[in-house]
Amino acid sequence: MKDILKQFVEISAPSGREEPIQKAIRASIQPYVDEIRTDSLGNLIAHKKGNGKKLLFDAHMDEIGFVATYIDDHGFVHIEPLGGHNPVNLPFQRICFEYGSKGTIGFESEILSKNGADRKEVSFDTLYVDIGARSKNEALSKIRIGETATYDSPFVDLGNRYMSKAMDDRIACALLVKLIQTLQTHHHDLYFVFATQEEVGLVGSKAASYGIEPDFGIALDVTATGFEDTPKGLKRVPMKLGAGPAIKIQDRSMIANHNLNQWIQTVADQNRIPYQFEVLPFGGTNGGVIQTTKSGVYTTCISIPTRYLHSPSEMVDVMDVQNTLQLVKAIAEKEIVL
Ligand SMILES: [Zn+2]
């Protein structure tokens, strides 16, 4: 699991540029599934044949990133976000462009001192990327307009916890790969969607789900942690690391199916797998678009609690990862009866 996770998080593949991670996942699961295909949006869809109803597991392959918009006369690269970034977190982070150029996100500290501790001025208007170029021409020889970039932040094993960029949502990609590789028996007709462009509006999953027409949908994604987890954690968010997978109650994209959630709790209880509940006052997952596919799908989301979301240092707990794998395995083995 650790090896797959390290491999996946270190691949640079932001929204719209998922091909490198798509190829890595395909190579890892091809021998274990009955059918595998890539659609026109780049979604990777694998099928393991079973009985009766269709159960869809979804994880998104893309990660947040940046796109180069123009290069100024000093050779600085200006960027726009791909997915949700809080600009305040960005000064002096290192990033790596699609064709290998590296740099740091620059920010003129005079703006900070002028405004004291107020960081309102930190925005995509005032941030730029310094790739070490001495001129516009030198920068243009290294970077193309439209080229994407991601955080340059490798995987770190902290013992009981793992830290890296792109845990969102490669941790779930790694979990599904491990599930596919190790599943001995299963009940339903299983579909695995490794979706594109989640971070820019749940794009790939919507099309994939429409084509599959599942009876049941389970999105796997990360979720935020709050006041029980870190010193100044969010008051409205009770989730924490180490307390097991989080069964989604609701977020801004969906209210999860209550009966499916109750069935999942029964499965977790029978297998003595710890779990917590997730009520997230912001954000959404692919569950939101799976749920409204065609005439509707019984859908929920199982989340891996993650600290410092959308940063270069997203952190997960090893036991949560193992327990989430045990839970999705137990779900896939049984017939869902609601
Ligand atoms: Zn995500």
Q: 128-130 and 94-97: which strand pairing?
A: unpaired
Query: What pLDDT is stored for residue 277 in this prediction?
Result: 97
Torsion of CA 174, 177, 178, 182, to 10 degrees: 180
- Of 163-172, 189-198, 232-241, give the lowest mean pLDDT range: 232-241
Query: What pLDDT is stored for residue 65 in this prediction?
Result: 98
Query: What pLDDT is stored for residue 122 in this prediction?
Result: 83
Tell me how far the alpha carbon of residue 288 lies from the centroid of ligand 1, in angstroms.
Answer: 12
Tell me how far the alpha carbon of residue 60 lies from the centroid of ligand 1, in angstroms.
Answer: 7
Tell me how far the alpha carbon of residue 260 lies from the centroid of ligand 1, in angstroms.
Answer: 21
CB atoms within 10 A of CB 148: 21
Query: What pLDDT is stored for residue 112 in this prediction?
Result: 59
CA–CA distance, 212 with 226 (Å, rounded to integer)? 36
Pick the CATH number of 2-63+165-333 from 3.40.50.2300, 2.40.50.100, 3.60.15.10, 3.40.630.10: 3.40.630.10
The whole-number average pLDDT for the span 182-194 is 95
The whole-number average pLDDT for the span 235-252 is 95
Residue 333 among the catalytic residues: no
Q: Does the fold of domain 65-151 match that of domain 2-63+165-333?
A: no
CA–CA distance, 253 with 183 (Å, rounded to integer)? 30
- The answer on pLDDT for 21 being more than 70 is yes
Confidence of residue 115 (pLDDT cuts 50, 70, 90): low
Kindly state the tokens that stand for 193. 């969607």
- The answer on pLDDT for 111 being more than 70 is no
Query: What pLDDT is stored for residue 287 in this prediction?
Result: 97
Q: What is the mean pLDDT of the chain?
A: 95
The whole-number average pLDDT for the span 319-335 is 97
The single residue of 18, 63, 198, 199 carrying the catalytic annotation is 198
- The answer on pLDDT for 117 being more than 50 is no
Q: Where are the domains of the chain?
A: 2-63+165-333, 65-151
Are 25 and 179 a contacting pair, CB within 8 Å? no
Tell me yes or no: is domain 65-151 CATH 3.40.50.300.
no
> Three-state SS string across the chain, please?
CHHHHHHHHCCCCECCCCHHHHHHHHHHHHHHCCEEEECCCCCEEEEECCEEEEEEEEEECCECEEEEEEECCCCCEEEEEECCCCHHHCCCCEEEECCCCEEEEECCHHHHHHCCCCCCCCCCCCCEEECCCCCHHHHHHHCCCCCEEEECCCCEECCCEEEECCHHHHHHHHHHHHHHHHCCCCCEEEEEEEECCCCCCCHHHHHHHHHHCCCEEEEEEEECCCCCCCCCCCCCCCCCCCCCCEEEEECCCCECCHHHHHHHHHHHHHCCCCCEEEECCCCCCCHHHHCCCCCCCEEEEEEEECECCCCCCEEEEHHHHHHHHHHHHHHHHCCCCC
Token pair 């699991």 is found at 1
Query: What pLDDT is stored for residue 206 in this prediction?
Result: 96
Tell me how far the alpha carbon of residue 109 lies from the centroid of ligand 1, in angstroms.
Answer: 32
Write out the residues surrounding ion ligand 1, Cβ under 5 A: 168-169, 221
Tell me how far the alpha carbon of residue 168 lies from the centroid of ligand 1, in angstroms.
Answer: 5
Tell me how far the alpha carbon of residue 88 lies from the centroid of ligand 1, in angstroms.
Answer: 20
Tell me how far the alpha carbon of residue 309 lies from the centroid of ligand 1, in angstroms.
Answer: 9
Tell me how far the alpha carbon of residue 134 lies from the centroid of ligand 1, in angstroms.
Answer: 37
Confidence of residue 123 (pLDDT cuts 50, 70, 90): confident
The whole-number average pLDDT for the span 259-284 is 96
Query: What pLDDT is stored for residue 125 in this prediction?
Result: 87
- The answer on pLDDT for 4 being more than 70 is yes
In this predicted model, what pLDDT tens digit does every residue of 33-63 receive, in sequence order?
999 999 999 999 999 999 889 999 999 999 9
- Please, what sign has the CA dihedral across residues 69, 206, 329, 274? positive
- Of 102-116, 218-232, 285-299, give the lowest mean pLDDT range: 102-116
Query: What pLDDT is stored for residue 246 in this prediction?
Result: 97
Q: Which residues pair with 245 in a beta bridge?
A: none
Tell me how far the alpha carbon of residue 199 lies from the centroid of ligand 1, in angstroms.
Answer: 7
Tell me how far the alpha carbon of residue 57 lies from the centroid of ligand 1, in angstroms.
Answer: 14
Torsion of CA 236, 242, 244, 246, to 10 degrees: 20
- The answer on pLDDT for 31 being more than 90 is yes
Q: Say what percent of the chain tops pLDDT 70.
A: 96
